Amino acid sequence: MAVTAKDKVRQVEPGIWKLVDDRFYVEIRPYGRDGKKVKKTLDKLDEARKFKTSEFAKAQSGSEPANPDKDARRLSDLVEDWYKLHGYSLKDGSGRKGVLLYDCELLGNPVASKFTAEDFVLFRKKRLETPRGANTGKMITANTINHSQAYFCAVFNTLTKLGKWPHPNPLHGLPKLKMDEPDLCFLDKSQIKSLLSELKLSTTADLYIIAKICLSTGARWGEAASLKASYVKGGKIHYSKTKSGKARSIPITAELEEEILKGRPKSGLLFNQRNHRHGFEDAVARAGIKLPDGQLTHVLRHTFASHFMINDGNILKLKEILGHSTLDMTIRYAKLAPSHLSQAVTHNPIATLHSV
């Protein structure tokens, strides 16, 4: 007998209803909203849940082929589904969604089930040949394209796990674009002094002390600028809700702690939440410092890490201080250590000629 709305007492969870006769009714679309509907009535809630789970697992494994011709969802529809189900929970979820929808538009927003790796390869080739904006002369970087590829892969993979995408991931196995290792840009001591002097003279409040915090603790500008008074205590600065999700506490001198807190609020945010970019950019220009495109305040974090290793700091400790998720993110600074590759001096053939 077909189950009607009158038979349903209440919805226990998505896809499962309790019936008037105390049985449980499952009605789901494990192959997506345009896939076939699966229905079954079972005696117990545990049985209903197991059936629902097994049907989604079956769809995910591909044991029953889906019909891509009936799946009319566009690429942007998948992005919206991904955001509603998972993306909203990510720190950069909203920004990532914006990037994805913009790329969907540039791709012509194809039917997702018809989208192929070749489509993306042609898209990224065109993007690399197109300036970022009118009359800027700046081109899209391989790094930007690789981020887009990673974002789209995550959409397909996440929806597959949630039973919302019954087809293969079209970008699975597609190699990312190879990139040259970027120059490691950091400030030397004279540049640090010049920059701090200019920041101290700036009419934009708090630039000087925020920069000192970044240079003293390796913090990102946003982490330092959003510090609360309660985060600076006991000779340490405590960072939470960071980009990597890792909380960390970095020791500072008593002098710096006093300078940070002096004349500032005893609770809440320490600094004005204004746009510091222009003030910092002006100070960099007045100090005569040239920075690579796309790098501004982040040079302070690079400078901390670079000088840490130049002064023979421990790479594992640096990883903890910077809050990096993996050592791969920190290892690029290792080359600045005094002992790094020092054997090149003593083990090269010229150095050993005297013994021949």
pLDDT truncated to tens, each residue of the chain (356 aa)? 678 878 888 899 889 999 999 999 999 988 777 677 889 999 999 999 999 988 888 777 655 555 555 788 999 999 999 999 999 998 889 999 999 999 999 999 999 999 999 999 999 998 888 776 555 556 788 888 999 999 999 999 999 999 889 889 999 999 998 876 666 789 999 999 999 999 999 988 899 999 999 999 999 999 999 999 999 999 999 998 887 778 899 999 999 999 999 999 999 999 987 788 899 999 999 999 998 877 899 999 999 999 999 998 999 999 999 998 888 888 888 888 877 777 777 777 777 776 55
Q: How many CB atoms lie within 10 A of CB 345?
A: 9
> Distance of CA 55 to CAs 75, 163, 169, 218, Å?
25, 9, 20, 49
> Of the residues 8, 73, 286, 298, which is catalytic?
298
Sequence-distant (6+) residues with CB within 8 A of 44 are: 24
Q: How many CB atoms lie within 10 A of CB 180?
A: 6
Catalytic: 114?
no
- CA diameter of the chain: 98
> Of the residues 70, 243, 277, 317, which is catalytic?
243
**Which string of b and e fits 99-120 if b means at least 16 CB within 10 Å?**
bbeebbeebebeebbebeeebb
Reduced to 3 states (helix: H, G, I; strand: E, B; else coil), residue 102 is helix
Catalytic: 243?
yes
> Of the residues 23, 324, 332, 340, which is catalytic?
324
Catalytic: 324?
yes
Catalytic: 50?
no
Catalytic: 127?
no
> Of the residues 276, 301, 307, 319, which is catalytic?
301
> Of the residues 124, 212, 220, 307, which is catalytic?
220
pTM over cut 0.75: no
> Of the residues 83, 151, 239, 333, which is catalytic?
333
